[in-house]
Amino acid sequence: MKTRRIFLQKASLSAMALTVPTLTPFSTMANSISDFTREEKTLRVAIMGLGSYGTRVAEAIQSCKRVKLVGVISGTPSKVVKWREKYGIPEKNCYNYENFDAIKDNPDIDAVYVITPNALHKDEVIRVAKAGKHAICEKPMAVNAADGQEMVDACKAAGVHLLIGYRMHFEPNTLEVIRMRKAGELGEIRFFQGLAGFTIGDPTQWRLDPALSGGGAMMDIGIYSTNGARYMVGEEPIWVTAQEVKTNPEKFKEGIDETITFQLGFPSGVIASCLSTYNMNNLDRFYLNGSKGWVEMQPSTGYGPIKGMTHKGPLNEPIVTHQTVQMDEMAAIIFDGKRPEVPVNGEEGVKDMKIIDAIFQAVKTGGKVSLNLA
């Protein structure tokens, strides 16, 4: 009987164990509730500069999940009217270049995307920062590294973000190549080539005015190779050499480079060989060579689709609208503290400006210029 009683007691306890629900720790439950109820903030952006690229960004924002176009800043009243009608922008969120400091008192605007000629970036970004708004600045961030550093310092002093429009830092095929390199699939990196060029048109445009552009092809598209060499190789260059060729001095006046070839040296011994030109078409190519494999991307930095081939086969990552992904990712950086695979902060922009400054110096001196990007 005693044995039978013990058996029945154990059986009853086993049955209870099967029917009593498992208790969820409160901390886990609280986290689940928090995740369920947490709302992702929307980044409310005003675009400064309503030209062709500003228009491209505005269109891309329409597909964003976390960004909304809420304001404009322009010196052309007719453009403001068109944008107000097209995007439903309230009149109180429209400014010109003289009065946009008043955004300080406008709670509808979180950030301003500066898309104006290069030489204007510094003063405009500093004014945005003083107004207490986050600044997104198109590249190149300035006309030299000293101006870029002033922008970084001003935004830090104001407690706002400064992000640079490096759309390629979020492009899926580009990120796949970086993953391959980090995973060792290419072996030891040994060489990088970056080619960027097109035949520029209208000789009266601001890109050919040194007072507004700060340079020619190097500022406009050469920066893709300086920046691309860094994230493709995975190191910071320590020296640069460069040579300039100018076949049309009337169109490409003093201070406007037509064609520059430049070389970057990296601590590991990797060499990058690059070309930037306003006088040749069909140049948009990256090539990365390692001891175990290679990658070729062509087009490599255009608006898309980006295409590429590796020793393993073609790159087949999703085709995206670069500016849409860029803006949503920037919202995550500002609101969530997200850290992208490749930085897009002001410090990143200053590094590229230091390289470009050194390239111009190397062109003038004909010698090797040392770099310190630490």
Do 181 and 139 reside in the same domain of the chain?
no
Structure tokens at 256: 């406007």
Is there a single domain that holds both residue 206 and residue 149?
no
Number of independent structural domains in the chain? 2
Residue 16 within any structural domain of the chain: no
Note the pLDDT of residue 374: 78
My answer on whether 267 and 235 are in the same domain is: yes
Chosen domain end from 101, 135, 166? 166
Last residue of a domain, one of 166, 196, 229: 166
Q: What is the set of active-site residues?
A: 139, 224
Q: Is the pTM of this model over 0.75?
A: yes
Query: Are 109 and 197 in the same domain?
Result: no
With a CB cutoff of 8 Å and minimum separation 6, the contacts of 244 are 257, 258, 259, 260, 363
Residue 304: predicted pLDDT = 85
Q: Is 337 inside a domain boundary?
A: no
Residue 143 in any domain: the answer is yes
The pLDDT profile of the chain, 374 residues, written as one tens digit per residue, is: 444 444 444 444 444 443 434 444 434 444 443 444 447 899 999 999 999 999 999 999 999 999 999 999 999 999 999 999 999 999 999 999 999 999 999 999 999 999 999 999 999 999 999 999 999 999 999 999 999 999 999 999 999 999 999 999 999 999 999 999 999 999 999 999 999 999 999 999 999 999 999 999 999 999 999 999 999 999 999 999 999 999 999 999 999 999 999 999 999 999 999 999 999 999 999 999 999 999 999 999 999 899 999 999 999 999 999 999 999 999 999 999 999 999 999 999 999 999 999 999 999 999 999 999 97
Question: Last residue of some domain: 166, 197, 227?
Answer: 166
Domain shared by 354 and 217, yes or no: yes
Do 159 and 270 lie in one domain? The reply is no
Q: State whether 159 and 173 are in the same domain.
A: no
135 inside domain: yes
The pLDDT value given to residue 124: 98
Say if 263 falls within a structural domain: yes
Domain that holds residue 61: 43-166
Nearest residue to 173 (alpha-carbon basis) of 331, 305, 338, 57: 305
The domain spanning residue 191 has which CATH number?
A: 3.30.360.10
Please report whether residue 238 resides in a domain.
yes
Indicate if 244 and 353 belong to the same structural domain. Answer: yes
| 216 and 247 share one domain | yes
Q: For residue 62, what is the domain's CATH number?
A: 3.40.50.720
Based on the domain organization, do 126 and 226 belong to the same domain? Answer: no
Same domain, 208 and 281: yes
Q: Examine residue 353 and state whether it is found in any structural domain, yes or no.
A: yes
